[in-house]
Structure 1
Amino acid sequence: MTEHQQALAADTTEGPAQEPPAQEPPAQESAAQEPAQEPPAPKDRRVLRAALRWTAAVAVFAVAGAGTAYGITRMERTDVPGLATQSDGRWDYPPLAKPPLPSGSPGPAAESNPAGTHHADLRALLLPLPKGAKENKALRGTDGWLPTGEFLKEYAEKEDREDFGQHLTDSGLRHIAARGWTTGDGTRTRIYLLHFDTAAVVETRLFLPYFSYKDPARPLRGAEQVEDDASFPEEKAAVPGVQRSVYDETAPRGAEHDRQAYLAAGDVLAVVLQSRKGTAHAVPFQQTVVLQSQLLG
């Protein structure tokens, strides 16, 4: 018996009979009178699901593509790996790979290597020639080791060369590995890696006293007036484990413009020099310095 019927029964016992109110037809009956809509055919459902999937996929790729494009447009050219254009000015270097270390030997920046020793062959740590460059074979030396006197020819005064050479000997210079080349635009590059016993010797006896100020204490031949290279991107081009001083010639006296960098990387002092008639361009110089730093770091 429904609640409504129970109420009516109670009323009949308590008072005179009253006509029950007209009852509305149940909702189920009214719904049953409306024509039922047939469910979509299985084929229609598959088409609908496929359309929804394609729409979602297109939306995802559109968002991802827009994000990537925005990221690249917001990055500096040197921040995008592999991005180089003809106007970029960078040279085409071969892929770089550090030589394998002897078994069990740590890298120069490892905590277990406080002396900063480069256990790899120093000659294998020289930056290779960029595409199209002509090698300066005179810098190969004997078996890849350059006499100290050939390196000292880069410096200006005879007395200064003698004094610096003696200082290198007193500091325990072991040997020098060097490489040089000339590119099609006439830029001459020379890289010298001077190997000592410890990182402390390189830092305290050479880098800090000679090459950590606004101008190097040992002026190069033909580049006596230099200053800090303000065009060099110091933070972006930083390499862990490598200290760096970079100089630009301010008032070239000769036909060539010179740029120079000195790197303290463990037990190695690296000297990177570039010269060119007119102007030595900043971009290939920066590229060369950073890549050589990465090989030594």
Structure 2
Amino acid sequence: MEEPERAESSRRGRTALMIAAAAVLGTLAGTCVGYLVQADRDPTPLPPLSQPVVGQAEGRVAPLSAAQDRQVATDGDLRKLLVDRPKGAKDTSALRGRDGWMDLADYADEYKNPSAAFTDLNGDGFRRAATASWRVGETYSVEINLVQFRQKTSLGASEWADNGKHWAEQEDGTRSWPLPGTGEDNGMVYVHDRPVREAGYLPLYSAEAHAWRGDVYLEIYVNDSRPIPKATIMDLAVRQVGKL
């Protein structure tokens, strides 16, 4: 059976712009008041130009090894950072992308409103996405995406992780837990106990995880016709975070 469409990406753009504009106006007002106050004060003597010389430390700092520097790993082949799929697992019928990669259009198509998602992802500096999906048996399936952002003008990875967590929390009958290894509130795991039911199809239970590490947003989706235990999604998410 086909999986239901993922929740659309709802952005906080207008509110964020209003807050930013208010902050700018407040800064300008404070600056004007500061000039008026300074105009009535006597000049403050400048400090002497000569200052003590700070000695330079000797020796060289050893560079981080490839194992210690996460940037080395995430700038390489992201597909190698995806968890290995279990033995005997098969490709899903909804396999997306090409050779384990999704470009901007492929990934935006994951959302209910692809055009809006495309615009948001592009504005947030989408760089690339590595993907893996598989199924075990007839009804159990997994999809994992590692979405990398350039993060020159915004923290895209954390923003899209927050977006994923927001929509996961909107579903009724949802339990959630922090994801170990991701820092405070950086990662969450969700189990949806209320299945999606459609006439002529088996019930569809789901679980998901959302987290970010550096410039990479991690999302995991698990579906089955039976309730999904917390241990199933948690183990998968912890192993995936460990590879990042």
Q: Give the TM-score, by structure 1 length.
A: 0.50
Looking at structure 1, the residues matched to 91 and 204 of structure 2 have their Cα atoms a distance apart, in angstroms, of: 19
Looking at structure 2, the residues matched to 134 and 166 of structure 1 have their Cα atoms a distance apart, in angstroms, of: 33
Per the TM alignment, residue 128 of structure 1 is displaced from its structure 2 partner at its CA by 0.8
SS at match of 2:155: helix
Looking at structure 2, the residues matched to 278 and 178 of structure 1 have their Cα atoms a distance apart, in angstroms, of: 24
The partner residue of 2:224 within 271, 276, 279 is 276
Per the TM alignment, residue 104 of structure 1 is displaced from its structure 2 partner at its CA by 6.0
Q: Which runs of 5+ in 2 are unaligned?
A: 1-63, 198-202
Looking at structure 1, the residues matched to 121 and 127 of structure 2 have their Cα atoms a distance apart, in angstroms, of: 9
SS at match of 2:187: strand
The answer to which structure has the higher strand fraction is 2
Per the TM alignment, residue 228 of structure 1 is displaced from its structure 2 partner at its CA by 5.3
Compute the RMSD of aligned alpha carbons.
Answer: 3.3
* 2:148 counterpart of 1:195: yes
Q: Write out aligned runs for 1:116-155 (5 A).
A: 118-136=74-92, 139=95, 141-155=97-111
The partner residue of 1:285 within 228, 233, 242 is 233
Q: Write out aligned runs for 1:40-189 (5 A).
A: 107-108=69-70, 118-136=74-92, 139=95, 141-155=97-111, 157=112, 160-184=113-137, 186-189=139-142
Per the TM alignment, residue 205 of structure 1 is displaced from its structure 2 partner at its CA by 3.3
SS at match of 1:251: strand
Looking at structure 2, the residues matched to 187 and 173 of structure 1 have their Cα atoms a distance apart, in angstroms, of: 30
Decide whether the 8 Å contact of 1:107 with 1:118 is kept in 2: no
Decide whether the 8 Å contact of 2:181 with 2:241 is kept in 1: yes
User: What amino acid sits opposite 2:136 in the alignment?
Assistant: T
The partner residue of 1:239 within 181, 184, 201 is 181
Distance change in 2, residues 1:144/1:241 (3 Å): same
- Number of corresponding residues: 174
Per the TM alignment, residue 140 of structure 1 is displaced from its structure 2 partner at its CA by 6.4
Q: Which runs of 5+ in 1 are unaligned?
A: 1-101, 218-223
Per the TM alignment, residue 122 of structure 1 is displaced from its structure 2 partner at its CA by 0.6
1:23 aligns to what? Answer: none
* 2:225 counterpart of 1:263: no
Decide whether the 8 Å contact of 1:198 with 1:266 is kept in 2: no
Decide whether the 8 Å contact of 1:178 with 1:192 is kept in 2: yes
Per the TM alignment, residue 239 of structure 1 is displaced from its structure 2 partner at its CA by 1.1
Structure 1, residues 33-91: CA drift from partner, whole Å, max 9, x if none?
xxxxxxxxxxxxxxxxxxxxxxxxxxxxxxxxxxxxxxxxxxxxxxxxxxxxxxxxxxx
Q: Give the TM-score, by structure 2 length.
A: 0.59
Per the TM alignment, residue 195 of structure 1 is displaced from its structure 2 partner at its CA by 0.9
Per the TM alignment, residue 274 of structure 1 is displaced from its structure 2 partner at its CA by 0.3
The answer to which structure has the higher helix fraction is 1
Structure 1, residues 103-144: CA drift from partner, whole Å, max 9, x if none?
768523xxxx6xx98233211111111122113386463343
1:14 aligns to what? Answer: none
Per the TM alignment, residue 154 of structure 1 is displaced from its structure 2 partner at its CA by 4.0
Looking at structure 2, the residues matched to 163 and 183 of structure 1 have their Cα atoms a distance apart, in angstroms, of: 33
Decide whether the 8 Å contact of 1:174 with 1:195 is kept in 2: yes
Looking at structure 2, the residues matched to 170 and 227 of structure 1 have their Cα atoms a distance apart, in angstroms, of: 33
Looking at structure 2, the residues matched to 250 and 137 of structure 1 have their Cα atoms a distance apart, in angstroms, of: 24
Q: In percent, how many aligned pairs have the same letter?
A: 23
Per the TM alignment, residue 164 of structure 1 is displaced from its structure 2 partner at its CA by 1.9
Looking at structure 2, the residues matched to 250 and 136 of structure 1 have their Cα atoms a distance apart, in angstroms, of: 23
SS at match of 1:252: strand
* 2:195 counterpart of 1:252: yes
